[in-house]
Structure 1
């Protein structure tokens, strides 16, 4: 049996290659949860029961592996934002999405810095940059809608607001109880968006 590898864009792979790919993703998720996105790639390969060369054939760089692990979550975040564009309360919609974006950025220690850096230099085959653009588009649409509804300050800059979410995730990643601290900081940002 031959199947195509998701996110790879190349030729179809045998079923055993697909199993290796899935085991690597599963072990990468576990390792990133335990140690952040700087977890040892050799250890991920060992835990998946494959040689390091197999990991590097599937994921030539660390960012390729991070992107593969994140692909599904990014899609969910984009879909959530698009769904919220039809919500009755534009302020609740934008604050709900910003909270979800922050939770995503806090998923793995080091994620905010790794993906922001990749988006800025267009690394990782362009996936990180493309995701950044898609997330910005959705977040910006929610902010524009809230601005037009008069529920956020007209001077609130979309890029600044969205960068603050990433900055909060980066600032609290090594703090005790990062989720609680992040929620408090996000509340300051969200409350600051209200018209004066």
Structure 2
């Protein structure tokens, strides 16, 4: 017999959960660890009881919000590859990565509190992001637009560097330029024919 926690949520319950997680990211990013559950519930358009039923502790909400951000980032890859050429899909995804990094930076204090309480909100996030990058890079290599010598770990390191130096909202222009530079550096260049 399936436990209640193992059963899929009803559509309306899933929508409420998604709204709570999105609101939690916004509020924890703005207010840090001092964010009130009541404000998160109001931002999500749900009652406090709905919030507490889904997330009985602050740590559970913070961890779920962070993991949801990682999942949303990684789950975007198939849709991007289905609608855009590989280089444009990667570029669009890198913008989402910076959005994720900005939210993570804003939630840093809250995430540290979760880690201090003994949880690991980062478990599997690196592997998920590298798998997403692997799909994007493979599509570009197969299409002949990306170099074949760049690994997902290389791209992750480059994106992490951009995020470390330019993830604050006021640095978005610099982040965009660095992302352009990074994606352009992946492109497979046709050797120029020497002039005679």
Provide the TM-score with structure 1 as the length reference: 0.62
Relative to structure 1, the CA distance from residue 93 to residue 100 in structure 2 (aligned partners, 3 Å threshold; closer, same or farther) is same
Query: Is the contact made by 1:152 and 1:193 (CA closer than 8 Å) also made in structure 2?
Result: yes
1:104-150 deviations in Å (ceiling 9; x for gaps): 212353558998xx9xxxx734x522233222212211111211222
Cα shift readout 1:75-110 (whole Å, capped 9, x = no counterpart): 332221022333452211222212222222123535
For residues 94-133 of structure 1, what are the structure 2 equivalents within 5 Å?
94-110=90-106, 124-125=119-120, 127-133=121-127
Of residues 183, 186, 191, the one that matches 1:193 is 186
Higher relative contact order (CA 8 A, sep 6+): 2
Instruction: Name 1:68's counterpart in structure 2.
Output: 64
Q: Tell me the residue number matched to 2:36.
A: 44
**Corresponding position: 1:135 with 2:148:** no
What's the counterpart of residue 13 of structure 1? Answer: none
CA contact (8 A) 2:134 2:151 kept: no
Secondary structure, in 3 states, of the residue corresponding to 2:123? helix
2:184 and 2:108 map into 1 onto residues whose CA distance is 23
Quote how far apart the aligned CAs of 1:168 are.
Answer: 1.3
Which aligned pairs between 1:1-196 and structure 2 lie closer than 5 A?
A: 28-35=24-31, 39-41=32-34, 43-44=35-36, 58-59=56-57, 61=59, 64-87=60-83, 89-110=85-106, 124-125=119-120, 127-174=121-168, 177-196=170-189
Q: Higher Cα Rg: structure 1 or 2?
A: 2
CA RMSD of aligned residues (A): 3.9
Structure 1 residues 60 and 73, CA gap change in structure 2 (3 angstroms) = closer
Q: TM-score, normalised by structure 2?
A: 0.62
